[in-house]
Amino acid sequence: MLHFTFLGTSSGVPTLTRNVSGLAIRNSKNKDWILVDAGEGTQHRIQQAKLSLKNLIAVCITHVHGDHCYGLVGLLASAGMDARTAPITIIAPKEIQKWFEATTELTDLHLPYPLNFIDVNEATQIQPLTDELSIQAHPLSHRVPSFAFSIITQYTQKKLDTQALIQLGVPKDKAWGDLQQGKDIQFNDQTLKASDFIQTHIQRVHAIVGGDNDQPELLAQSCQDAQLLIHESTYTQAVLDKVGQGPMHSSAKMVAEFAQQQGLGNLILTHFSPRHQDSAGQQAIAEEVRAFYKGNFYLAHDFDQFSLDENGQLLKIDKT
């Protein structure tokens, strides 16, 4: 199961109720978590969300615009305050590494732990992070190179075929335990092979988190296997038409139409322009999504939490 905490849902600038982009994603089997984007102020949001920088294993930066990365160096510096030695993987445009290196030099910053920088262009091949978690980047279309990230958790569950053992009359004692551990056993002068009695199920959860993007259809192929798309929806279509194509963002309609065409089960929209953050603005976005998409969708607010399970069921977690 994957667990999501939105740390910032405003586009461009922070507002009184929403910070700029940041999303924490945790594999629910342990405390390890990944951060996608780190707008200014993200480390304060991390504290408020009761996440620990100690358990942060990777940061993915979708693109170099400040509302997605200006918080990165500060939070990496804070992560080093308690003598951390475990590395952090950074998957980002290579300019982010240059910026980080210039800042460390100019501000006398010395991290006590290593950073493992991966150029996002190389992460278009799948990158295993841990035994269960992996990440893959997908190019998008924006004013600067921008990427989406597939976050995939996959693990194998092994279950003993107890029905078959009961039918054969194998007593439920040490024999069952041995088979469960992969040991062959002797029963009534026969060898029972553990491999014949262990059923393996592969549990897989796949979510895609987009960066800024004006062509959702670029994610058509990667979304085929995804249970959830998290995508920017900066404006309604009417406002996008007024603003024009220059900023290279998506409207709610564009994302909703794409999700409908793909048959995507779940959609979460984020990165709202300040003009769409009051209740009328949110309602306008929601109505537009509803008009073009029949699946399960949410408009994210800061500190909203969601879980996504192996069956593709997305739930909003009640914080009360």
Q: Annotated active-site positions, please?
A: 67
Minimum distance of Zn ion from residue 59's CB (angstroms): 16
Of 84 and 94, CB closest to Zn ion? 94
Minimum distance of Zn ion from residue 66's CB (angstroms): 9
d(CA 286, CA 299): 7
Of 214 and 288, CB closest to Zn ion? 214
3-class DSSP string for 258-296: HHHHHCCCEEEEECECHHHCCHHHHHHHHHHHHHHCCCE
Q: Sort strands 305-308 and 228-232 into parallel, antiparallel or unpaired.
A: unpaired
Which residue, 285, 283, 280, is CA-closest to 236? 285
d(CA 186, CA 287): 65
d(CA 189, CA 183): 16
Minimum distance of Zn ion from residue 212's CB (angstroms): 4
Does the annotation flag 63 for ligand binding? yes
Does the annotation flag 68 for ligand binding? yes
Does the annotation flag 301 for ligand binding? no
Does the annotation flag 110 for ligand binding? no
Displacement of CA 124 from its chain's centroid (Å): 15
Minimum distance of Zn ion from residue 11's CB (angstroms): 5
Of 268 and 308, CB closest to Zn ion? 268
**Site residues, Zn ion (CB under 5 A):** 11, 65, 67, 212
Does the annotation flag 249 for ligand binding? no
**Cα→Cα distances 23→33, 43, 138, 268, Å:** 10, 11, 17, 12
Of 212 and 257, CB closest to Zn ion? 212
Tell me the binding residues.
63, 65, 67-68, 142, 212, 271
Tell me the binding residues for Zn(2+).
63, 65, 67-68, 142, 212, 271
